[in-house]
Amino acid sequence: MTRLSTESSNFFKSKRLSSLLAFALLLSSALAAGTLDTAPAAHAISDSKQATSVTAASVLKKLAVKGRAPKTGYSRELFSSGWGDIGSCDARNYILKRDLTKLVWRQGEACTLQSGKLLDPYTGKVIYFVRGVKTSYKVQIDHVVAVSDAWQKGAQKWNRTKRAAFYNDPLNLLAVDGPTNGAKSDSDAASWLPPNKSYRCAYVARQIAVKAKYGAWVTAAEKTAMSNVLSKCPNFKLPKG
């Protein structure tokens, strides 16, 4: 190689390195300033990978619309005495494994998560989960269609096997911010939606998928609320499950 070609090669390598360094500095500055909103995008990618070809709006039209039945006789124990098993894990740890990253398992145990990182779909914030009496509550497993909501919209007539399947169904379970889950309580879409507006289409679509799967109905107010959300994303697909 001649001296000229060597100098030319070194020049272009230097220019390429300078460009990469400039891009890295720009990206770092944007992240530090909070101008890049990565959490909603990450969840959107995850949801799209698990979507069917059917739109949530089309399935919503087929759900039965009825009034809310009385809560009389309701008890969570009528659904399940606790978390059931999914494969070798209980449902709680199965969902933590599915929804969290940076997983660290408890030493000597194959399916008890000790710590991990959650991009919370309900708030869009990052939560670092650490198992413990004073810390576990920060990440909870939410029944997207609340158990008592299901009870008042069809589950009173289900047998125990169907109730247990609903209670432990990954389609109806999400790892979320604990306090936000507490604020949701047993609300339906007419009275509560995630503060993270970019997740509302996915949230409503998941509720519709669960209610369609188990034959639970919606109230008129609930259907209206769901329709209003989906009007902003009419082609949003139903999640698999």
CA distances from 195 to 120, 123, 126, 174, 237 (A): 11, 6, 14, 15, 21
Give residue-wise pLDDT tens across range 92-120: 999 999 999 999 999 888 899 999 999 99
The CA distance from 210 to 213, in Å, is: 5
Give residue-wise pLDDT tens across range 57-67: 999 999 999 99
What pLDDT band is residue 3 in, cutting at 50, 70 and 90?
Answer: very low
Got the DSSP string for 158-218? S-HHHHHHHHT-GGGEEEEEHHHHHHHTT--TTT---S-GGGHHHHHHHHHHHHHHHT--B
Per DSSP, the chain holds a count of helices (H) and strands (E) of: 9, 9
Going edge to edge, which strands form the sheet with 113-119?
101-105, 113-119, 126-130
Does the pTM surpass 0.75? The reply is: yes
Length of the chain counted residue by residue: 241
